[in-house]
Amino acid sequence: MRPVSVFKKNYRIELRDVDLTKKLKLSALFNYMQEISSLHVENLGTGIEAIEKRCGVTWILMRAKAEIARYPSWNEDITIETWQQKPKHFEFERDFIVRDATGNVIIRVVSIWIIIDIKTRELKGTESIAVQYPPFFEERAMTNFRLRKIKPFEHTKIAYKKKIGYSDTDINGHINNAKYIDFATDCFPVEQHMQYFIKSMQINYIREAIPGDNLVFYTDISDLNSNMVYIGGIKEEIGAPIFSTVVEIVPVKEYEETDHYWRG
């Protein structure tokens, strides 16, 4: 297949990917993103198997921010588009847009990926997997954004603890990036999920967690008046952070009174 600048794939929202409201789970969105990213880098000649065999490296998602106008429903058809920006020295920026069946944009995502040595886990430069890329699509899924560090938590409260098991891992042997979204949203009871809509989320992946690790998840709701909630996780054995996320929420009633897509 000829390399393409923008890769598109149609999805139908399956039963396994929705929550009790029959809306797409945020973690399922990240699974879709992971799949379509894998397909696109394969199309570009930098797929998972290709760079492992050629360079001994693998892809890692470092940061991502999602802005959601509307979560698609069970059995709904959507199209996801993704494209890669021109690689920086150590980072690959990748954007995503999710459209509904009529072409309206309902979700926007920006992300940063890196490559690491499979054996040493050391960061590698983007030039180590350089190929002849097609022309880069320079537009961004979002404007006026920066995937910066998330400020330290100051008023934290432990939500729960979990020991990482086999089902939490992915092809790289550590926690799959989408699992962190489930871990984060599990910090709050079902009743609160029924009352609030997650309008946006930025998640920063800080270090790996593997089977056998004991994780502690905590929240900070001190900025709730600004509709912002902070969630994080640490590896209990060493007291070191593994991820942090900031979530913007709005009451479901307020969400229901607004448009469910971006125009243009």
* pLDDT 10s digits, 30-51: 999 999 999 999 999 999 999 9
8 A C-beta contact, residue 85 and residue 93: yes
Q: Residue 33: name the closest of 142, 141, 178, 155 by CA.
A: 178
Q: What pLDDT is attached to residue 82?
A: 98
Give the separation between CA 16 and CA 13, rounded to whole angstroms: 8
Q: What pLDDT is attached to residue 264?
A: 45
Residues 6+ away with beta carbon under 8 Å from 163: 212, 213, 214, 215
Domains (range + CATH), the chain: 1-146 (3.10.129.10), 148-264 (3.10.129.10)
Fill in the amino acid letter for 30: F
* pLDDT 10s digits, 160-205: 999 999 999 888 888 999 999 999 999 999 999 999 999 999 999 9
**pTM (global) more than 0.85:** yes
Give the separation between CA 127 and CA 131, rounded to whole angstroms: 8
What is the band of 259 on the pLDDT scale with cuts at 50, 70, 90?
A: low
Q: What pLDDT is attached to residue 171?
A: 83
Which two tokens mark 250? 């709005």
Residues of the chain above pLDDT 90, percent: 84
Got the DSSP string for 99-130?
Answer: E-TTS-EEEEEEEEEEEEETTT--EE-GGGG-
Residues 6+ away with beta carbon under 8 Å from 57: 51, 115, 116, 117, 118, 124, 128, 129
8 A C-beta contact, residue 97 and residue 105: yes
Residue 149 Cα distances to 146, 152, 204, angstroms:
9, 9, 7
Got the DSSP string for 194-246?
Answer: HHEEEEEEEEEE-S---TT-EEEEEEE-TTGGGTEEEEEEEETTTTEEEEEEE
Q: What pLDDT is attached to residue 211?
A: 93
